[in-house]
Structure 1
Amino acid sequence: MNIQLIRKYNVPGPRYTSYPTVPYWNEVPPTEEEWKREVKGAFDDSQEQGISLYLHLPFCEKLCTYCGCNKRITINHTVEDPYITALLQEWALYLALFGRKPLIRELHLGGGTPTFFSPHNLRRLIKGITAGATVAEGAEFSFEGHPNNTTEQHLQTLYDLGFRRVSFGIQDFDPQVQAIINRIQPYENVLRVTEQARRIGYTSINYDLIYGLPLQTAKSVGKTIAMVNTLRPDRIAFYSYAHVPWTSPGQRRYTEADLPSDEVKRGLYEMGKEMFEQQGYTEIGMDHFALADDALSIASRQGNLHRNFMGYSTSQTRLMVGLGCSSISDTWTAFGQNLKKVEDYQDAVKEGRFPIFKGHLLNREDLVLRQHILNLMCRLQTKWEGSEQKTFSLLDAKARLSELAEDGLIRIEGDSVQVLEHAKPFVRNVCMALDARLWRNKPTTQIFSKTI
């Protein structure tokens, strides 16, 4: 990897799970009536396609200092019941708006720690969600599990409810790294839940790993990856650590001096990629790997990969409904984010209000740019249509893309752009070249993690 290019392009930038990115949403959110109109329109237009659901379960018993997610740290499990009640009340608001049973194509439990909740309460939640809906044939149900508290009963209960995919947060097996990020998690626990999931019948197991964590070295990361490879999960998310202590105060437990340098960090990824590929994994999109027969790999080869707030997916739905505090919903033409504080969220739905506090209505330019950025993130290429060039000025974007082409990262042919194979790590930078809202209002302080 070219060190000069890393130094040049390793700048703060979005991960592009959406466009526009959250910091550039309109200051004035949609009104409740506008939000209901956008949701209803998306629902009516996607009857055959179905919808996606994301349920945010924010509770954790311990703070993992690296984590940038919206969470609530508590050991008080009496919070489970009222929170599930609120989730089902919010879902009832959407069901009333839809006017008929939705078809659920995809459902994901994220957090926080979904397995903080008891199997009994998770059953109550999923039964409550599916009671008012139709589950599509082949629907993808997935959840995030913490190896330390995911029990065989959790796995069996969720399997019986239709879940076939589970993602375990590994991060790193090195004891020193685990200590500084407050994520003590023995290998034996990971082995246990992996074997239990396979024995029960889960068809896809994902491991989340992070490179760039404090105190990581090539030796420690190499050992972690070797241990992961012996367990052979179907998918691996090898994420770049996002150091954002201004939004995640837990990261102030350590300083930048504890983090690998930019060059070392990139070297960790290249080493991991090589070790994964030697074991038959294929790089999918950004920071993701999958075995050749995994659905994610197949979707990538066929050009059907999709990306949304849940990450890369094989399912593409126009409407994604986010339930729970801080969840984001997406109608393709609008975004809406729920209140972040648990109590505020619960009070809003108890009063019969959609708990949206922030959002964005996409204009014509947003919609054009959103599709091109999605194309780049999922297929590493895109092409302009002649009529699109009238909706926004491409002159500045083309100048920025030309610099990327001169640096050997992309190929420009007419109105098409392709990210070259060796330049996958720079895909966020390519997307930034098209990000009109970012360039019109460049931040004066750092609001994103670095891109590489």
Structure 2
Amino acid sequence: MNSLIDKYNIPGPRYTSYPTVPFWDDASFTSDLWQQSVLRTFNETNDSEGISIYIHLPFCEQLCTFCACHKRITKQHSVETPYLETVLKEWDLYVKLFGRTPKIKELHLGGGTPTFFSPENLRILLEGIFAKAEIAEHPEFSFEGHPNNTTREHLQTLYDLGFRRASFGVQDYDLQVQKAINRIQPFENVKKVTEMAREMGYKGVSHDLVFGLPFHTWEKMEYTIRKTLELKPDRLAFYSYAHVPWIKGVGQRGFDENDLPSGEEKRKLYTNGKKLLEELGYIEVGMDHFALEHDDLYQSMVSGDIHRNFMGYSSSKTQLMVGLGMSAISDSWYAFAQNNKSVEEYQKIVEEGTIPVVKGHVLNQEDLIIRKHILNLMCRLETSWDLQTAFPEIENALEALKEMETDGLVEISDNTIKITEKGRAFTRNVAMTFDLRMMRNKPETRIFSMTI
């Protein structure tokens, strides 16, 4: 396995979209085209499946030096009300565009740190969203919480509003690692919020772990995994640290790059970590995710309903996902759009009565075909094609996959490709062979994190 990781550990996308953001055709994108696409999808799917909403809440009180998210660091909580007022005004613009009542099936609060906001302000935000919508029969509402500042009031307020899933960023429990990434977070804090959520009735608690952080050794990673298992979260995200300081600037320069584990050490973190999680009862779902058998994410993998979008893996799917807030990304299936990345500019554009998208991509027919193949690979570990879903360069993709087939990572038969159990770690590499836009426009500089 180590030799295969050496061979295939190259820069590559995580494929929360296709085309990936660096290959969007911004030049031909306009706000009018985006709105036409939204309205098309809304009219096609709102009655049957509803919509998803992602709300980006970007504020954090301190900078975690491993973080690659769009955020604003401040201890001034006076920013809460004006920001949320703008988000509600942006929602009003979409509701006006829809022309009739939207049905919300999924809603996720991400960040930043959603629990930076007071419980009362979160209630005002969500009641404002719900006042102009219908809630689907079995909605999926989830939020990301910081264990250090998520209170019982946060959990109860969100529970009362229909939230049943909570995700807590753990990263690592070793104090040396925590100091290096500026995220001091005792196990007791995670234990407290996890147990409070369960007592309250949350049906799903997820923890995020990251391997490959500065000063990481297998002994430290094993300690973190075993401490995590004391709490038995329903889901686990087991991410490789994406070191991309050339994109995210000074935030990820908060430690010496020599403090990062070597390639060989990081391989050990991944392979040993995955093996230990499986020994402890977790089942790998898609890529980077593990779940217990009772969890909806695992059940959706078994049923074939699992989906992947900008929010990651989901146990259900809607074609329209509306992103609200600074830097939020939306997906209408036929197009992608991203909001302005500056809090002030985002607020200014919305105040002017305009949906604040500033970049995006309208998918052509070829994009839609490739997107389906990549989604199949990322979610179901296989894809197949016929006359309608073939594409001109498919022979090139198959040629690129031959070496992976020889290495036992994929099985190719007739018009089907299946990723083997051995090949799971290389799912991103397999998907890359279908990425026509990247193949035709190979980047001259490094723009992605390593695949493993």
TM-score, normalisation: structure 2: 0.98
State the partner residue of 1:173: 173
Distance of 2:229 and 2:337 partners within structure 1 = 39
Post-superposition shift, 1:88?
0.3
Q: Is the 8 A contact 2:168 2:207 kept in 1?
A: yes
Distance of 1:199 and 1:393 partners within structure 2 = 53
CA shift digits 1:388-421 (9 cap, x unpaired): 33x4321221211112112221000011100001
- More deviation in 21-30 or 333-342? 21-30
State the partner residue of 2:12: 13
State the partner residue of 2:37: 38
Post-superposition shift, 1:282?
0.6
Post-superposition shift, 1:386?
2.0
Q: Is the 8 A contact 2:300 2:316 kept in 1?
A: no
Seq. identity, %: 58
State the partner residue of 2:115: 115
Distance of 1:181 and 1:419 partners within structure 2 = 35
Post-superposition shift, 1:200?
0.9
State the partner residue of 2:199: 199
CA shift digits 1:91-143 (9 cap, x unpaired): 00000010111110000000000000000000000000010001111100000
User: Superposition pairs for residues 26-425 of structure 1, below 5 Å?
Assistant: 26-46=25-45, 47-248=47-248, 249-389=250-390, 391-425=391-425
Alignment-mate amino acid for residue 318 of structure 1: Q
Distance of 2:447 and 2:164 partners within structure 1 = 36
Alignment-mate amino acid for residue 373 of structure 2: H
- More deviation in 252-261 or 281-290? 252-261
Post-superposition shift, 1:291?
0.6
Distance of 1:42 and 1:323 partners within structure 2 = 17
Alignment-mate amino acid for residue 22 of structure 1: V
Q: Is the 8 A contact 1:365 1:392 kept in 2?
A: no
SS of aligned partner of 1:387: coil
Q: Which runs of 4+ in 1 moved over 4 A?
A: none
Q: Is the 8 A contact 1:6 1:262 kept in 2?
A: no
Post-superposition shift, 1:278?
2.1
Q: Is the 8 A contact 1:29 1:357 kept in 2?
A: no
CA shift digits 1:299-319 (9 cap, x unpaired): 111111100000000110010
**Count of residues in correspondence between the two structures:** 450
Q: Is the 8 A contact 1:306 1:312 kept in 2?
A: yes
CA shift digits 1:155-212 (9 cap, x unpaired): 0000000000000000000000000000000111111111111111111000000001
Distance of 2:197 and 2:337 partners within structure 1 = 34
CA shift digits 1:322-363 (9 cap, x unpaired): 000110100111000000000000000110001010000001
Distance of 1:133 and 1:78 partners within structure 2 = 28
SS of aligned partner of 1:17: coil
SS of aligned partner of 2:433: helix
SS of aligned partner of 1:93: helix
Q: Is the 8 A contact 1:237 1:288 kept in 2?
A: yes
SS of aligned partner of 1:53: strand
SS of aligned partner of 1:28: helix
Distance of 1:127 and 1:395 partners within structure 2 = 52
- More deviation in 5-14 or 27-36? 27-36
- More deviation in 397-406 or 119-128? 397-406
SS of aligned partner of 1:388: coil
Distance of 1:202 and 1:226 partners within structure 2 = 23
Decide whether aligned partners of structure 1 residues 330 and 235 sit closer, same or farther in structure 2, where only a CA change above 3 A counts: same
Q: Is the 8 A contact 1:372 1:383 kept in 2?
A: yes
Distance of 1:409 and 1:199 partners within structure 2 = 43
Post-superposition shift, 1:279?
2.2
SS of aligned partner of 1:223: helix
Alignment-mate amino acid for residue 326 of structure 1: S
Distance of 1:234 and 1:253 partners within structure 2 = 32
TM-score, normalisation: structure 1: 0.98
Segments of structure 1 that go 5 or more residues without pairing to the other structure are none
Distance of 1:41 and 1:217 partners within structure 2 = 50
Distance of 2:350 and 2:417 partners within structure 1 = 45
CA shift digits 1:366-398 (9 cap, x unpaired): 000000000000000000112333x43212212
Distance of 1:387 and 1:274 partners within structure 2 = 40
Distance of 1:32 and 1:256 partners within structure 2 = 41
Distance of 2:21 and 2:382 partners within structure 1 = 24
Distance of 1:3 and 1:202 partners within structure 2 = 40
Alignment-mate amino acid for residue 70 of structure 2: N
Distance of 2:447 and 2:135 partners within structure 1 = 39
Could you say what the CA RMSD is over the residues aligned between the two structures, in angstroms?
Answer: 0.9
Alignment-mate amino acid for residue 276 of structure 2: M
